[in-house]
Amino acid sequence: MKTVFDKATRDSLISRIRQVNENSPRQWGKMTVYQMVKHCATWEAWILESKPNKHTLLGMIFGKMALKNMLKDEKPMARNVPTSAAFKVQGSGNVEAQKAEWIAQIERYAHYVNHGFVHDFFGKMTTEQVGRLAYKHTDHHLRQFNC
């Protein structure tokens, strides 16, 4: 299973992020290129820096099962998976600046220290689960824009 804690995998993701540009064709969803790169940079910072999150009731009921299903194999995340309101980005901005921020966040996984991360829906996650989810999330959005 691919994980952002593997240097070769991080390097591959970074190479793909560098391919993203204003003209990258969206394959599904409603996000613009800017909204996607900003969403991803913000999401990575949340994984890397956040204190334990409040586990939602729906997550307490279905979260562990959903996480297990999502991480069971190499299959990419499904298209059009809903995102938390906290990670929805509006408007436009500087794609290159957001790409640089996103790349910096990906590089920080080399020194990951947020063990015991609690996802608001999935609940408490192991470091292995975090690494695999972070890979799948990044891969999902790069595929969304054909990169």
Closest by CA to 135, choosing from 40, 42, 51, is 40
Closest by CA to 109, choosing from 126, 131, 138, is 131
pLDDT at 84: 83
Is 99 in a helix, a strand, or coil?
helix
Tens of pLDDT, residue by residue, the chain (147 residues): 999 999 999 999 999 999 999 999 999 999 999 999 999 999 999 999 877 677 777 778 898 999 999 999 999 999 988 888 888 999 999 999 999 999 999 999 999 999 889 998 999 999 999 999 999 999 999 999 999
Apex 56 CA angle, 121 and 63, nearest 5? 35
Enclosing H/E stretch for 119 = strand 118-119
CATH number for domain 7-78+88-144, candidates 3.30.70, 1.10.3470, 1.20.120, 1.10.260 = 1.20.120
Both tokens of residue 138?
């990044």
The torsion of the CA quartet 90, 64, 135, 17, rounded to 10 degrees, works out to -10
Amino acid at 12: S
